[in-house]
Amino acid sequence: MDLYEHQARELFAEHGILVPRAEITDSSKEAREIARRLGGRVVVKAQVKTGGRGKAGGVKVAADPAAAELTARQILGMDIKGHTVGTVMLAQPVDIEDEFYVSYVLDRTAGTFLAIASAEGGMEIEEVAAARPEAVARIPVDPAEGVTTATAARIATAAGLPPQTVDVLVRLWNVLTREDAVLVEVNPLVRTAQGQILALDGKVTLDDNARFRRERWGTRETAHGDPLEADAAAKGLNYVKLDGEVGIIGNGAGLVMSTLDVVAGCGARPANFLDIGGGASARTMADGLNVILSDPSVKSVLVNVFGGITACDAVADGIVSALDSVRLTKPLVVRLDGNNAARGRAVLDSRAHPLIQQVPTMDGAARRAAELATDAD
């Protein structure tokens, strides 16, 4: 479960990490009053659970309370990568001397945590990591040992961070471990002209398995999360929105993850993760297709199913039945393999829908879906 920035900052403050004074509101009129309380000049920041807010125009400086009201009015209701802005945070501006990047993330493959840090934080950190990977330090952290002062000092030295950040690195580790998080990120962590180290922004992802211990944040995403994910959750679908153009439906998390990789290897970007699990009923397929086709970025859809407990003919029946309630507007590539695959293919052939194409292999199906998405541009 991702937290909003203002919630992450709340956790930081509880663990002794300095953050600028700030307040949140969903009213542009109230934004004027908040700006007055904070001293007049403020930074107005969209509160959505996605990155790239600054580049999208969701972070702006307002010179005075009147400007804060106008800026809040402009940002509220914005769409940022499919997220509607329902709340803004107004924060006191900071006299920045240097910007850094620091994070702790769970490395599931290695069975450990990873500290990632750089002396070059800010909006361009992704470009820095891609162009000059040596500028970003990656240090494994033993979960049993944790981040002691000595470990934090090693991280700071490896990343070129000033000594003043060592205490913050220890405190951020405390946020991670004591709050059941799998990701804690600060970008930027800044040094002010007065020498203070402050967290200007924050991202925290909590472990879903510990939701029962974190009821203060609610048991589900709040009202202004991704609308497609909210719609899918209401339908009981295991769906995650991604920034791509090929919609993906599969049965089983492992198969879906492999499909994402194969699509990416064909030069296209997956638009989502959607695992229908063992249930491929007409209702499940209809709900899945409805969610995926509601994403305006989707140019083609790939259904990749390996029949096991759920036979391929049942999947095909589900697709055909779903077409009675779903208006198919994008090309649909289907790969069926495994239990009753031949009959499943025959079911789809008999339906003869002009937008449905069948490809027998996963690689071939991914390649075709990628081609169709590219041709649609």
Domains and CATH numbers, the chain: 21-91 (3.30.1490.20), 96-217 (3.30.470.20), 227-376 (3.40.50.261)
**Portion of the chain with pLDDT greater than 70, in percent:** 96
Model confidence pLDDT, tens digit, residues 201-252: 999 999 877 777 767 776 444 444 577 887 888 888 889 999 899 999 998 8
Catalytic residue among 23, 69, 99, 101: 101
Of 220, 56, 207, which Cα lies nearest the Cα of 229?
220
CB 285 within 8 A of CB 305: no
Q: Is 120 a catalytic residue?
A: no
Catalytic residue among 23, 69, 185, 245: 185
Asked if the model's pLDDT at residue 38 lies above 70, the reply is yes
For residue 181, the Cα-to-chain-centroid distance in whole angstroms is: 15
Two tokens, residue 77: 């209701």
Instruction: State the pTM of this model.
Output: 0.63
State the average pLDDT over residues 55-75. 96
Q: Is 239 a catalytic residue?
A: no
Report H helices in the chain.
Answer: 5-14, 28-37, 65-75, 125-131, 149-159, 166-178, 227-234, 253-265, 282-293, 312-322, 341-351, 362-376
Of 75, 58, 65, 57, which Cα lies nearest the Cα of 41?
65
